[in-house]
Amino acid sequence: MKYFVNTADRQVFAFEDDVEIVEREGVYSFTTADGVPLDSLPTMLVPCDPPPPYEPPPMDATTAVAQRDALLADATLRMGPLLDATPAEVVSLKAWRQYRVALNRIEQQAGFPASIDWPKAPV
């Protein structure tokens, strides 16, 4: 992967290694492996380092609880049909119950609310 930044707006562009990049007098041109020029790109692109990986901002308690409540509501909807579970569905119902308990305990986690280990929903 090769990275270029637009000097006008600092937008970063990533190009696969099979894109041919030619520099002439400080201006770069880009061509696909099939020879098709990538003409719609900004003209002020210069090579740059890869951008750092995206890290979402830490969550505040209000947002975390709202997300938890939305996940609990979804779990409740999914559990509804399982309340009349057949013996084969009892395992699924138990997994959804354990998931709801884990969701209700997120506020007890050491990193709450900035760092939450969200439980995985059953499939």
**Cα–Cα nearest to 120, from 103, 79, 90, 93:** 103
Number of domains composing the chain: 2
Residue 104 belongs to domain spanning:
61-108
31, 37 contact by CB (below 8 A): yes
The verdict on residue 55 lying in a domain is no
Residue pLDDT tens, the chain, 123 long: 999 999 999 999 999 999 999 998 888 999 998 889 988 888 889 999 998 998 888 889 999 999 999 999 999 999 999 989 898 899 999 999 999 999 999 999 999 999 999 999 998
> Do residues 43 and 66 both lie within one domain?
no
Backbone angles phi, psi at 44, to 5 degrees: -100, 45
Handedness of CA 63, 66, 71, 72 (dihedral sign): positive
